Amino acid sequence: MRSLRKRIPFFIFCAIATLFAFLRLYKLDTSLEFFNDLGRDFLVMYDWQATGKPPLLGPQTSTIAFNQSAWYFYVLYPFYLLFSQSLFSTTYAMLFYSLGLFAITYALIRMYASELTTSFFFFFFLSAVHPELVAQQRFVWNPSFVLPALTVTLFGLFVLQKAWKSWLVWLVSAGMSFAISMSYSAVPVLVGFFLSIGILWRKRLLLFIVAFATSLLFWNAPTIFFELRHNFLLTNMVTTRGSLPQMRSDIPSKLQAYGTYLFSTETVRSASVMFSIFILVLIVARTTIMSPWKKEFSMTSLILLGSLAATLISPFDIQPHYIFPILTLIFGLVAFLPMPAAGVLVIGAALYWLNPQHVLKYTEPALRTVKQIEHCAQTVCAQEKQPMFVSEQAGFHVFHTGPEYRFLFKKYGCDIRSIETNPSLANRMAVVVDNSIYEHGKTAYNELTLFGPSTAKNKYVCEGNIQVVMLQKKDSYDPQ
């Protein structure tokens, strides 16, 4: 009986991990929308495999003209190879790394601070069911490693208070620097991170700084090498171009965005009010009621307030995947409340976030399934042997570069060239009409302009409301 009791926490961890995986994988084969940024990532990994040359840069950010760390691709690439270029490999990678980092955190707690086990389970459960986190890992548009990486950092700080270990300082710092390298939206958390460290371990602050700087250098070494090799191209772009236009970077808009994404509500007014009330309650709790009784809550609230202040005054918009740093700290606050209060909030979150409205939305059939777009690429490439460009006219997004189809056509044997690099590299173009309408000579976008005057030679009709119109440049030789 005693042995069984000792195993109960492990069973709880496994149960939450199962729920975590189920929400992200159930009916994924029919619900995954594979397009644009997903295709971009697969194109990079395809070229890496074909050339043997790893990329030095990760994806460019949507705020400034600078790229994330190439480790973004390095952690995805093994799964791309392991699952033979499967379009689900990025989802599997995200699931593996997320559960792996949660498992590492759980192991640390069990070894050095077992009294935090219940709080960790509350935190883990909220991470498993929150709609933005589930949706982001089911449709892995710019996969985010931020929350699981910051989980190691946050709980690692509390473990350090129970049992000081120098190696744990390096692990905590590596988690913080990795989160920042994967998404610059985590930079504001650095403010709260060092603020709390300065209060708790002022005499050991230098060790944290050295560990953080070293690990940050490690994660960004490929970028530094790129900059040295190309005369600081990215740095010059940032200083000359500045940031991309931001439409809603004012504080009220940011509060509205946080409320909308945190509470999964479409009502603008309620989103702003709910999040503003939440912050007000937090400030009151931080200064009066909660801070004396539990230092974990006090420390987390301190990190959150510092991070939130830095976020609100920054000149950047709040996108859905930008909330994950703040979301990590909010989950921490809930988890470190007294057991009855935390339990009530977690049960309420479960009832709200696991209701059919949310769960059924995850499994809605894709406009075209992975199987359908792969079969279409196979059909085209079985016939088309000439070098060709690829562009896209879609009814559900505005991007015409079609990276998902460029990847698929390459995968199934087509000779794909880049029209942005040199429009004279091919005389044919495949226009993928994806749940949309294309009228030759009337539909216009940049890639068609670059291609120049052309005639429509033939058309492939595929399942999933997809057509592929083959264009031939006018006055060019067509061996077919």
Q: DSSP per residue over 54-111, as a string?
A: --SEEEEPSSBS-EEETHHHHTTHHHHHHTTT-TTHHHHHHHHHHHHHHHHHHHHHHH
Mean pLDDT of 135-158: 86
- Phi, psi (degrees; rounded to nearest 5) at 435: 50, 45
Most confident range, picked from 60-69, 99-108, 231-240, 469-478: 99-108
pLDDT at 281: 63
Domain-located, residue 375: yes
Say if residue 92's pLDDT is above 70. Answer: yes
Residue 321 predicted with pLDDT over 80: no
In a domain, 285, yes or no: no
pLDDT of 124 higher than 50: yes
Sign of the alpha-carbon torsion through 404, 406, 410, 413: positive
Same domain, 340 and 430: no
Which residue, of 310, 339, 362, is where some domain finishes?
362
Q: What is the average pLDDT value for the chain, to the nearest integer?
A: 86
- The pLDDT tens digits of the residues spanning 185-222 come to 888 888 888 888 888 788 888 999 999 999 999 999 99
| 64 and 204 both lie in a single domain | yes
Domain boundary among 331, 362, 393: 362
User: Over 90: is that where the pLDDT of 111 sits?
Assistant: yes
Distance CA 157, CA 163 (A): 10
Chain centre distance of CA 148: 11
Task: Please give the pLDDT value at position 345.
Answer: 85
Whether residue 240 is found in the same domain as residue 91 = yes
Tell me the range of 89-98, 138-147, 326-335, 339-348 where mean pLDDT is highest: 89-98
Q: Tell me, yes or no, whether 60 lies in a domain.
A: yes
Burial letters 321-333, b for 16+ CB under 10 A, else e: bbbbbbbbbbbbb
CB 73 within 8 Å of CB 222: no
What SS3 class is residue 436? coil
Cα 213 to Cα 413: distance, rounded to the nearest angstrom: 44
- pLDDT for residue 134 is more than 60: yes
Tally of domains within the chain: 2
428 in helix, strand or coil?
Answer: strand
pTM of the model: 0.90
pLDDT digits (tens, 9 = 90+) for 8-46: 889 999 999 999 999 999 999 999 999 888 899 999 999
Tell whether 378 is covered by a domain: yes
Q: Beta partners for 454?
A: 473
| For residue 288, pLDDT beyond 70 | no
3-class secondary structure per residue, 2-65 = HHHHHHHHHHHHHHHHHHHHHHHHCCHHHHCCCCCHHHHHHHHHHHHHHHCCCCCEEEECCCEC
* Cβ-contact 117, 344 below 8 angstroms: no
The Cα-based distances of 331 to 151, 261, 290, 301, 424 in angstroms read 10, 14, 16, 11, 54
| Residue 14 and residue 59 share a domain | yes
Q: Are residues 187 and 130 in the same domain?
A: yes
73 and 47 within one domain: yes
Rounded Cα–Cα distance for residues 343 and 122 (Å): 8
Residue 467, H or E segment: strand 466-473
pLDDT-derived band at 272, boundaries 50, 70, 90: low
Mark residue 25 as left, alpha or beta (left: phi above 0; alpha: psi -120 to 50; beta: remaining). Answer: alpha
Q: Are residues 178 and 230 in the same domain?
A: yes
Tell me, yes or no, whether 353 and 397 share the same domain.
Answer: no
Segment 165-170 shows an average pLDDT of 93
Give domain status of residue 274, yes or no: no
Domain of residue 123, residue span? 2-250+291-362
Alpha-carbon distance 478 to 173, whole Å? 59
Compute the average pLDDT of residues 176-191: 90
Is the residue at 440 inside a domain?
yes
Residue 7 CA neighbour count, 13 Å, CB half: 5
Examine the pLDDT at 352 and tell me if it is beyond 70: yes
- What region, left, alpha or beta, does residue 248 occupy, with left being phi > 0 and alpha being psi -120 to 50 degrees? beta
Per-residue pLDDT band at 268 (split at 50, 70, 90): very low
Both 358 and 374 in one domain: the answer is: no
Cβ-based neighbour number of residue 189 at 10 Å: 28
Average pLDDT over residues 159-163: 89
Q: With a cut of 50, say whether residue 291 has pLDDT above it.
A: no
Determine the residue type at 122.
Answer: F
Q: What percent of the chain has pLDDT over 70?
A: 88
Least confident of 3-7, 183-187, 395-399, 463-467: 3-7
Residue 114 lies inside a defined structural domain of this protein: yes
The mean per-residue pLDDT over the stretch 164-188 comes to 92
38-52, 53-67, 87-101, 277-291, range with the lowest pLDDT: 277-291
* C-alpha–C-alpha distance, residues 396 and 443, integer Å: 16
For 449-456, what is the mean pLDDT?
93
Q: Which residue bears the tokens 């009791």?
A: 5
Pair 176, 153: CB distance under 8 Å:
yes
CA separation for the pair 132, 141 (Å, rounded):
12
- Based on the domain organization, do 467 and 348 belong to the same domain? no
Q: Taking 60 as the threshold, does the pLDDT of residue 456 lie above it? A: yes
What's the confidence (pLDDT) of residue 373?
97
Q: Does residue 147 surpass a pLDDT of 90?
A: yes
Section 113-140 average pLDDT: 90
For residue 434, the 8-state DSSP code is E
Q: How confident is the model at residue 292 (pLDDT cuts 50, 70, 90)?
A: very low
Q: Give a three-class secondary structure readout of 381-409.
A: HHHCCCCEEEEEEECCCCCCCCHHHHHHH
**pLDDT score at 293:** 44
pLDDT the model gives residue 479: 63
Confidence of residue 137 (pLDDT cuts 50, 70, 90): confident
How much is the average pLDDT of 144-165?
A: 91
Asked if 385 and 311 sit in the same domain, the reply is no
Please indicate, yes or no, whether residues 30 and 169 belong to a single structural domain of this protein: yes
Q: Are 124 and 253 in contact, with CB atoms under 8 Å apart?
A: no
Exposure class string for 197-224: b at 16+ Cβ within 10 A, else e:
beeebeeeeeebeebbeebbeebbebbe
Q: Which of 326, 343, 362 is the last residue of a domain?
A: 362
Rounded Cα distance, 309 and 320, in Å: 18
Q: With respect to residue 466, please indicate whether it lies within any of the assigned structural domains.
A: yes
When mean pLDDT is compared across 37-46, 256-265, 306-315, the lowest value belongs to 256-265
Please state, in angstroms and as integers, the Cα–Cα distance from residue 35 to each residue in 32, 136, 182, following that order.
9, 14, 21
